[in-house]
Amino acid sequence: MVVVAGSAVVVSQASAQQKTLDLKKWYVLVNRNSGKALDDRGSAKNDGAAVVQWSRHGGPNQQWRFIDAGDGYYRLQNRNSGKVLDDLGWSKTAGSAIVQWKDLNGTNQQFKLAKSPDGYVRLVNRFSGMAVDVRNAAKANGSGVVQNRDRGGADQQWQLVPAGSVGGSGTPTSQATSGSHPSSAPSPVAGGGSSTTRFMGSSTVLIGGSMSDASAAAAPFDVRYAYVHSQPAPSSDYYSAARCHDGWSSWWGCWNGSTTAPGTYVTWRDTVAAQATYKGSRRPQKMLWTWYSLRDLGDAAGQGDGPGEVKAINRLDLLTRYLNDYRFFLQKIGTSHDAIDLEPDFWGYVRSLGDPHQVPAQVSGANPTDCGSQENSAAGLARCLISMAHKYAPNTAVGLHLSCFDWQTNTQACVKDYANLGAKNADFLVTDVSDRDAGWYAQPAHGGSDHFWTDQKATAALQFYKTMAESVGKPVVLWQIPVGNMAQNNTLNHFKDDKVDWLFGHMDQVANAHVAGLFFGPGQQEQTTVESDGGNLIRKTIAYHNSGGTALK
């Protein structure tokens, strides 16, 4: 018996157990005989693409939703491809292939859920009357899914596991106690073989941001970010001191006060992230550090933002202090699995002066120990910062900030300049979509400019990220994404924006652009925050993780 009630369908089981099918949810279908999941082979998107069984990893190509076709039948739509399960060629032959095809709502694409013991169901095709099973009751990865006479065998029984949940056959998905995403075990791609795409230990797009501890615990966030910026310590004595002094509080290493050891700001935040919980259970998060200290070094050079920074890197005394400070910062990270965003905006100022190889910097003299072989230029400095991170914080990913203010008119110049900067030596690129909410920019007092996204604007931005990612062979992280949403009223800390909703609504496009992380937060104190957005980001993050996430590409 099948009872329809709104978006929920109750399927009676032989065991008298009730199983509720939610038409708004995605499910992983786990075979009773093999323990493997129904899988869109190789994440294919073409009509006729093979459907197989594969070790359960919970990726979008293993997620299916049920679309009501009437009379107790449903179409099964794959989350990755958008195609539906299909009896190929309207066959009534036992052993013929089950594939995926565009949704035509034909009876060969409609299946009923027939009761089986212990909460399992059989998928019986409306046209052929045959049940979906695994060819020859095989248990190997890649075994074909076919239709056969409905005999009720274990190889024809499937368990519907809500995507992202723990339990049932196979490997637990995103609620693993480690707090990381599941190890990806993708089905083979065309031509054989397989590959695993990961970033910061995850096989799916990471979600995070800048927020309070309470907000960080309210949703299954993966990453938190924080700035590190101040003028460098005046002398090496700061690094070896047992405790900070009262007069050292302007230096980032003593932001936690004079009762703590220098550098506690980093070790403390790493500890908080590692001890994070969600719904009362341990779910560690990771830190992304925005290293933003050349801005302060420019002040020390007497000229401030932009020109002062470029001047400062060519002063041996200032660059020596800067690189000493950076080394201490990396040593405080140590073996933590963090990420570093290197110097927002600075590389854009370098680019404005021409070839990064020709912008002078006293690299080898400022740090002969770590960077004595690097050229004395901004390009050499970029390589120096990357190599130091790999040396002193070996488990940490280091990203070069993508500051291409002319990307809409001259993307190829950005490609060339980042090749010159040595971006291929980094682990990722990181960039900001906009530093403030669109509703803030729209006000006449702030220039009255239009920073809202249309599909056209968003697609253009994603194409730029994709081009840059492919040019260096590394993923891109979007950082400090405005938190506003269209339910806000354009007052202090409540400005409108549309990027949160757009990004979560187009996660496949995000992944296709090789974006590995979406990190949200205000770029200025008047902007909407995670705490003032009415819970929008928290709700969307919960829904995203409950869905199993979106696989990296």
pLDDT for 164: 54
Residue-range domain boundaries for the chain: 2-162, 206-546
Residue range 2-162 forms a domain whose CATH class is mainly beta
The predicted pLDDT at position 5 comes to: 35
Q: How is residue 175 written in tokens?
A: 């609620």
Location of structure tokens 């949200």 = 520
- β-partners of residue 401 are 430
Neighbour-count burial of 219, counting CB atoms closer than 10 A to its CB (0-12 exposed, 13-18 middle, 19+ buried): buried
pLDDT at 147: 96
The Cα–Cα gap between 417 and 427 comes to: 17
Q: Can you tell me which residue has the tokens 């074909």?
A: 144
356 contact partners, CB below 8 Å, separation of at least 6? 347, 350, 377, 378, 379, 382, 417, 420, 421
Contacts of 175 (CB under 8 A, 6+ apart): 164, 165, 166, 220
* Residue that has been written with the tokens 């293993």 in this structure: 62
Q: Residue 58's pLDDT is what?
A: 80
Can you give the pLDDT at residue 57? 83
| Three state DSSP letters for 330-355 | HHHHCCCCCEEEECCCHHHHHHHCCC
Say how many residues make up the chain.
553
Q: For 206-546, CATH number?
A: 3.20.20.80
The distance of Cα 444 from the centroid of its chain, to the nearest Å, equals 35
CB of 132 within 8 A of CB of 145? yes
Task: List, for the chain, all residue ranges whose pLDDT scores fall below the cut of 50.
Answer: 1-18, 165-196
pLDDT at 410: 92
Which pair of structure tokens corresponds to residue 440? 């803030």
The closest of 393, 358, 356, 387 to 370, measured between CA atoms, is 387
Report the C-alpha gap between 177 and 175 in whole angstroms.
6
* CB contact at 8 A, 217 and 542: no
Give the pLDDT of residue 197. Answer: 78
Output the pLDDT for position 44: 87
With H, G, I as helix, E, B as strand and everything else as coil, classify residue 227: strand
| Secondary structure letter of residue 15 according to DSSP | T
Residue 70 structure tokens = 């009437």
C-beta separation of 250 from 299 below 8 A: no
Report helix, strand or coil for 9.
Answer: strand
Dist CA 331 CA 322 (whole Å): 14
From CA 497, how far away is CA 536, in angstroms rounded? 12
d(CA 121, CA 73): 13
Token pair for residue 382? 């970029």
SS3 content of the chain, % helix, strand, coil (to 5): 30, 25, 45
